[in-house]
């Protein structure tokens, strides 16, 4: 399995000289299984570049964790949308009231966007992500709700040999605060259990989180704690705060590595990074 | 043990932060949690009781109807809410493990998860004597 990061920033794109190392594009990761099946996790601004890498028409599946702008803003700039021989499946969290097409159309229609979703050239199918397991080519995907404002899912993806989990926007502290942590009462535990690589929200320092409880994101400490509880092998920090420059993110990484000690690896979620599992 | 549904996790945290006595059960009616305020009614700390299946739950509290007759187990508000997928409101007398009676109003309602399926239920209690 190959995992490639195309956008690691949270909330809003933040390109600039101070964010060159970690990157400024918002959430997007690409997972390729042993048989060549591909899923794209989220469609933040990073999805524009990954869209340019597919030469021949093929099936592509985009798994959206939720519909906040930093996770869908790149959809309108995803080149395969505008090539008629591509088959594109977009999966997103179910809503109790509106289907995925209706919700996405709020963005992909005038006046916010000049082209309507129904006018894309590719063969497009939209799906509510089922709660539980489903298969995409040679990949088995599990989606489950996680703690974040609005319907939000996390994903677990395996190709039968390696397994990764993706929870870019996640506040597990709301499930554990003030009590002894227990796996059955911890949001995201099942998705992360035993994975080879956990790509997880690490937006805030502990000091920053104190004023942002309930905003839907993690202290980097929470990402470390979940990784430890779930016995994941590697933690990759993700959804970096747009206000954090490269030096601050390096400092946060150092803290996380100290917390993890020798129990598991903590790796920087930098745009362009590729992990072979 | 597998992770609980996210709706149950959040409801437990909410109950933990409220002064309203609340009891949380899974879709089978098994007791998952009651908060500190409910401990006052039940005469028992949750940490001492822990999670209980439906049968064991009957040992820690019981209801009596307005005419002081025992309320059958299958008429308990939370049991009805889970069975019939609807909210239930009822005035009852409740006796906890400490043997003290409490005149309470109970509101029980089912919890539907993100996928629309039943994940459990909640009972909230309001002690009438405290209202006066």
- Is B10 in contact with A147 (Cβ distance < 8 A)? yes
Q: Could you tell me the pLDDT band of residue A190, with boundaries at 50, 70 and 90? A: very high
CA–CA dist B3, A48 (Å, integer): 35
CA–CA dist A19, A272 (Å, integer): 13
Task: Write out the two tokens for A168.
Answer: 């870019």
Q: How far apart are the first and last CA of chain A?
A: 5
Residue A225's nearest CA partner among A273, A182, A162 is A182
Q: Distance between alpha carbon B121 and the CA centroid of its chain, in Å?
A: 8
Residue that is written with structure tokens 């809410």 in the block: B81
Hey, of B1, B2, B4, which one would you mutate to test binding to chain A, going by the most A CBs within 10 A of its CB?
B4
Nearest to A187 among B1, B9, B116 (CB): B9
Whole-number percent of chain A with pLDDT over 70: 100
Pair B7, B113: CB distance under 8 Å: yes
SS3 content of chain B, % helix, strand, coil (to 5): 30, 35, 35
pLDDT of A257 strictly over 90: yes
Task: Write out the two tokens for A260.
Answer: 């993890």
For residue A137, CA distances in Å to A5, A225, A276 come to 21, 33, 19
Nearest-Cα distance to chain A for B130, in Å, is: 28
Q: What is the pLDDT of residues A113-145, one digit of tens each?
A: 999 998 999 999 999 999 999 999 999 999 999
Nearest-Cα distance to chain B for A187, in Å, is: 6
User: Which tops the pLDDT comparison, A194 or B132?
Assistant: A194
Q: What is the pLDDT of residues A55-96, one digit of tens each?
A: 899 999 999 999 999 999 999 999 999 999 999 999 999 887
Nearest-Cα distance to chain B for A114, in Å, is: 32
List the single residue in A with minimal CA-CA distance to B13: A175
A-to-B residue pairs, Cβ atoms closer than 8 angstroms: 49
Write the DSSP symbol of residue A176.
Answer: H
Per-residue pLDDT tens, chain B, 132 aa: give them.
789 999 999 999 899 889 999 999 999 999 999 999 999 888 888 988 888 887 777 777 889 998 889 998 899 999 999 999 999 999 999 988 888 889 999 999 999 987 789 999 999 999 987 544
Q: What is the pLDDT of residues A7-22, one digit of tens each?
A: 999 999 999 999 999 9
State residue B84's pLDDT score: 97
Write the DSSP symbol of residue A248.
Answer: H
Average pLDDT over residues A36-51: 97
State residue B62's pLDDT score: 86
State residue B131's pLDDT score: 47
- Is B6 in contact with A177 (Cβ distance < 8 A)? no
Q: What sign does the dihedral A133-A137-A138-A139 (CA atoms) show?
A: negative
State residue B53's pLDDT score: 83
Nearest to A145 among B1, B12, B114 (CB): B114
State residue A179's pLDDT score: 78
Nearest-Cα distance to chain A for B98, in Å, is: 26
- Is A174 in contact with B13 (Cβ distance < 8 A)? yes
Residues β-bridged to residue A266: A235
List the single residue in B with minimal CA-CA distance to A171: B10
Residue B107's nearest CA partner among B120, B126, B93, B85 is B126
For residue A91, CA distances in Å to A8, A190, B47, B92 come to 20, 20, 41, 47
Nearest to A184 among B2, B113, B114 (CB): B2
Residues β-bridged to residue B83: none
Task: Write out the two tokens for A205.
Answer: 């320092």
Pair A79, A31: CB distance under 8 Å: no
- Measured in degrees and rounded to the nearest 5, phi and psi for residue A143 equal -120, 140
The reported pTM is 0.90
Residues of chain A with C-beta less than 8 angstroms from the C-beta of B1:
183-184
Residues of chain A with C-beta less than 8 angstroms from the C-beta of B3:
144, 183-190
Nearest to B3 among A94, A96, A186 (CB): A186
Residue A126's nearest CA partner among A107, A141, A104, A154 is A104
pLDDT of A30 strictly over 90: yes
Q: How far apart are the first and last CA of chain B?
A: 44
- Is B3 in contact with A93 (Cβ distance < 8 A)? no
Residue that is written with structure tokens 């970096």 in the block: A240
Nearest-Cα distance to chain A for B57, in Å, is: 20
State residue A96's pLDDT score: 78
- Is A96 in contact with B114 (Cβ distance < 8 A)? yes
């Amino acid at each position: 399995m190959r995992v490639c990061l195309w956008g690691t920033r949270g909330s809003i794109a933040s390109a600039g000289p101070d964010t060159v190392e970690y990157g400024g594009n918002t959430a997007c990761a690409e997972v390729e299984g042993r048989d060549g099946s591909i899923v794209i996790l989220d469609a933040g601004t990073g999805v524009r570049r990954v869209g340019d890498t597919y030469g021949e028409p093929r099936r592509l599946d985009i798994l959206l964790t939720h519909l906040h702008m930093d996770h869908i803003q790149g959809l309108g700039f995803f080149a395969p949308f505008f090539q008629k021989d591509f088959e594109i499946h977009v999966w997103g969290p179910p809503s109790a009231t509106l289907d995925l097409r209706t919700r996405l159309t709020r963005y992909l229609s005038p006046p916010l966007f000049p082209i309507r979703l129904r006018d894309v050239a590719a063969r497009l199918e939209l799906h509510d992500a089922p709660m539980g397991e489903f298969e995409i080519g040679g990949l088995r995907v599990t989606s489950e709700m996680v703690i974040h404002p609005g319907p939000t899912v996390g994903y677990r993806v395996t190709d039968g040999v390696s397994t990764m989990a993706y929870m870019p926007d996640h506040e597990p502290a709301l499930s554990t605060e003030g009590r002894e942590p227990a796996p059955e009462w911890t949001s995201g535990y099942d998705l992360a259990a035993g994975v080879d690589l956990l790509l997880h929200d690490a937006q805030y320092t502990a000091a920053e989180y104190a004023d942002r409880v309930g905003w839907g994101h993690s202290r980097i400490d929470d990402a470390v704690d979940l990784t430890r509880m779930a016995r994941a092998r590697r933690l990759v920090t993700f959804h970096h705060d747009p206000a954090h420059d490269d030096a601050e993110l390096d400092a946060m990484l150092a803290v996380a590595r100290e917390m993890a000690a020798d129990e598991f690896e903590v790796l920087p979620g930098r745009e362009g990074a590729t992990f072979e599992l | 043990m597998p992770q609980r549904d996210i709706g149950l996790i959040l409801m437990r945290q909410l109950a933990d932060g409220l002064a309203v006595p609340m009891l949380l059960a899974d879709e089978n009616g098994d007791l998952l949690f009651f908060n500190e305020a409910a401990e006052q009614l039940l005469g028992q700390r949750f940490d001492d009781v822990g999670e209980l299946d439906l049968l064991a739950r009957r040992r820690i509290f019981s209801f009596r109807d307005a005419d002081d007759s025992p309320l059958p187990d299958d008429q308990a508000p939370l049991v009805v809410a889970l069975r019939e997928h609807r909210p239930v409101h009822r005035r009852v007398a409740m006796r906890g493990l400490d043997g003290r009676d409490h005149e309470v109003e109970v509101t029980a309602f089912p919890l539907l998860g993100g996928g629309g399926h039943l994940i459990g239920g909640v009972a909230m209690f309001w002690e009438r004597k405290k209202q006066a």
